[in-house]
Amino acid sequence: MKKIVETIGFLVFIQGVGGLLFEWTGWFRLWTVVRHIDFLGDRGIFVNIVLVVTGVAVMVAADAIKT
């Protein structure tokens, strides 16, 4: 269970970093999920920062899970 939570946290973190790279440089156009969600509109940078922080928090919280 701990590995699954760490993997989910890592994927969320990578989505946030990839989204920030897309917003700032235009790279990873097809790889980011936030860009494809219409109702987020022009809040892409904020949502990607939240994804980065959430991913880090989930990875840190995974250490509290007992095996």
Q: What is the pLDDT of residue 32?
A: 80
Global pTM reads 0.85
CA distance 51 to 66: 25
Whether the Cβ atoms of residue 44 and residue 34 lie closer than 8 Å to each other: yes
Sign for the CA dihedral angle at 1, 36, 41, 32 comes to positive
Q: What is the pLDDT of residue 67?
A: 65
CA distance 51 to 28: 16
Give tens-digit pLDDT for 2-28.
899 999 999 999 999 998 998 898 877
